[in-house]
Every structure is written in C-alpha cells, then in structure tokens.
Amino acid sequence: MAESALLTVPLDALHRSLGARMVDFAGYDMPVQYEGIIAEHLHCRAQAALFDVSHMGQAVLEGPDAAAALERVVTGDIRGLKPGRQRYTLLMNAQGGIVDDLMVANLGDRLLLVLNAGRKNVDVAHIRAHLPATVSLTPQFDRALLALQGPEAGAVMATLAPEVAAMRFMEAREMALSGISVTITRSGYTGEDGFEIGLPAAEAEGLARALLADARVKPAGLGARDSLRLEAGLPLYGNDIDETRDPIAAGLGFAIGKTRKMGWDFLGGDAVRAVHDAGPRERLVGLRAEGRAPVRAGAELRDAAGQPAGRVTSGTFGPSVNGPVALGYVRADCAGDGSTLIAGLRGRDIGITVVPLPFVPHRYHR
C-alpha cells in the first residue's frame, strides 16, 4: 500500500514529534519504535509504557438481549458478564474457525467491543449478519485507544484519577480522566498490569502528553508490543490464529465459557466440540531455540526422525528472557513440554524445545 493511502491515527503528529519510526500496519501508518524495541520492551517490564492502539476497532452493541445475540457468534458467556466487567472471547465461523479474538465489556446499558485492526470491518459485517433487528452494532472507529502498560501503570493512572487504583484486572468503567470522558479497562496485551483507555480522538493528544509527562512513562511502538505479547504467550491474529484454526488447537479453550460447553450453541460449536472431544491434531505451543538467533514465523519444524512436525507462527528475540522465543503449531504427539524438534536456520539445523507458556509470568492486578 502506498504511503499516501495509509490511514493515520489521532496521535500521528505526536508520534512523529517524538521521533517514531513509522510503518504500515493493517493499513495504518503506525509507530514501530522510538528509541529502540529492546529499550521500550524492558522499560514496559520495569516501569510503564504508553502504546497507541487507536488502529483497533471500538464498537457498541445495544438493544434488548444484546448479550444473547452476541452469544450466537462468540464462545464466551456474555449473558453472565456482570456490569463493569470485561471478557476475552472468540468470534467464530460456521466451520469452527476463529474469525477474530476480541474484548467485550459490559457498560451496563450496552456492550463495548474492541476488535483487531485488520479484522474490524470483517467482524462488524459478520456480527451484523447474525443479529436480530432489535439489536444494533455501531462502529466507533474514529475513537482513540491508548494502552498504558507496566508495573507502574496503576500508580501513574492514580495521579490523574485516584479511584483507578481500586480497579481489578478486567474491570471496566466510564469516568472522567483529566477532565475527559473515557472508557477504561484494566487490561492489555503485554502480560503486565495496565489499562486501555478509549476516548474521543480530539482529546487523545492531551491525555497522551499528560501520561508522558510522568517520568515513569515512555512511548513504545508496535515492535515492543509484539515482543511483549509473545513473551507473555499471547497469540496474534493473522500469525497464531486465523479462520483455519480452532480454539482447542490454539490453546484458547478457556475462552469457551463453562455454560457454553453445556450446549455448544455458538456458530461452529459442533465442529469445536468434535475437536474438544477427540483432541486436536496440532497444538499451539511455546518454543525455545538453542543459541540467540530467533526462529521466525514460517520456519518448518521436524521431529527427531526428520519428519514434518509443524511450523513456527511467531518468533522473535525475547529481551526479558535474553533469548529467542516462539510460538508454533506442532503435531499433538510432539506437543508435550520438553519435546525436542529441529528447525532450519540460515542453512543449518538447530534444536528446538517445546516449553510451557508463558515465557514470562503474567503480572495482572487481580
């Protein structure tokens, strides 16, 4: 896509003023790094990093029995989601494949959905096709979304709104922050404590500058966001999950609510139940390579006999573990922790070990 055709986020001018290197991501001109991916990654693990994720899609679902209507196409227990709470769930197709992974927050009179950037238009059309006339889905793609992540995130946020300190992981609120009306959830995709803040685009720069004025906060780009989520063992749509992958093979069975497993009455439920009962042929697992060079997405994996065993779906250098980390699908018989595999890297074979996820423990504020 030509640069002139790229969409921009509300903080585009701020990113450039901070020296960001911009790249095309999901059709948006987005900051990939500022001072460097490793420095931004480690700062997030130690203090707090501010990410602009405004390219993601926010949408509101409302109407009588909106939760029940959404349950037709997602795996989560949405009717059981209490006001002020958020839940991770999966949007499904009729074949049991994952259309997207998304967040759903119950704001009391409506549901707030946060969709992946590259899937948001697909998601809206897919959800609308299964809604009754009494329920509406309204995209709010013009709103900004900021993510403050890291162990100091709570303390930083409390300087702007002391009541934020009492929020727990996956709690959702509507409130005023620095005089701005926002939706805020205690969540994120780094494995660290943190918050995601939805707000009008015109107010985004003011809030971003207020957060960056705190010495504990530095800006971080998509590069660090990717290495952070990979160390946390969190799948990326388009790499680790897509419409050809089911929740069981992807290790996302937890996103199928207990009540949903009683009837499997969501789109593709019968297909997912069949995999659940029989066991998947492949599983998404954590992978550690010998040496320091990362094994990238697309690398083929072989077993000890040299037979095809799977493929890497995400791979990078993990700054927090000081070594390469990866996710990949491998044959079920090779998916046990401690299993050894082989990958080709720059013309030579290297050893790969299946390891437990996450690579770095989650530190959510529960």
Annotated binding site for substrate: 196
Which residues lie across from 349 on neighbouring strands? 344
Q: Specify the pLDDT at position 346.
A: 85
Helix (H) or strand (E) holding 144: strand 144-149
Q: What is the mean pLDDT of residues 343-352?
A: 92
Annotated binding site: 196
Question: What would the pLDDT profile of 191-205 be if each residue is shown by its tens digit?
Answer: 999 999 999 999 999
Quote the CA–CA distance of 173 and 116 in Å, as a whole number.
Answer: 21
Contact of 97 with 243, CB cutoff 8 Å: yes
Quote the CA–CA distance of 171 and 185 in Å, as a whole number.
Answer: 5
Can 7-54+142-232 and 281-355 be said to share one CATH topology?
no
Residue 263 has pLDDT above 60, yes or no: yes
Q: Is 7-54+142-232 CATH 3.30.1360.120?
A: yes
Superfamily of domain 281-355, CATH level 4: Aminomethyltransferase beta-barrel domains (2.40.30.110)
Q: Domain boundaries in the chain?
A: 7-54+142-232, 281-355
Residue 4's pLDDT band, with cuts at 50, 70 and 90, is: low
Total Cβ atoms within 10 A of residue 58: 23
Mean pLDDT of the chain, nearest integer: 97
